[in-house]
Amino acid sequence: MWYMTLPSIIIIAVCSTIPAYVAPHITKFFQGNKQTRIYTTHLERIGYTRDYELGDNKFWNFKINKSILAYAILNNIHYFSDVIM
């Protein structure tokens, strides 16, 4: 009867609506916040934040990341060959 198809319709409906709720979180995980830059050295921070420190732009977000792995990824360097040598 018609009620035998109800479980399959519910399963298809749930599986087709879950990506709409999960996709924005997956995208944010891989892309990060679009308004945040990561600076690996103090000189990069001074160079990129000069206008921020001179002006009144308090809505900018800054994050200083001092890890070697982040430096290697941001500068497109192979991590193991440059760190070991």
Same domain, 76 and 42: yes
Radius of gyration for the alpha carbons in the chain, expressed in angstroms and rounded: 23
Same domain, 44 and 14: no
Same domain, 18 and 43: no
Domain that holds residue 12: 1-31
Determine the Cα–Cα distance for residues 32 and 25; give it in Å rounded to an integer: 10
Number of structural domains, the chain?
2
The residue assigned the tokens 């409906």 is: 13
Same domain, 75 and 52: yes
Same domain, 59 and 22: no
Q: Give per-residue burial for 39-51: e unless 16+ CB within 10 Å, then b.
A: bbeeeebeeebee
Average pLDDT rounded to a whole number, residues 31-37: 67
Residue 35: pLDDT band (50, 70, 90) is: low
Residue 85: pLDDT band (50, 70, 90) is: very low
| Model-wide pTM > 0.75 | no
4, pLDDT greater than 60: yes
Same domain, 21 and 53: no
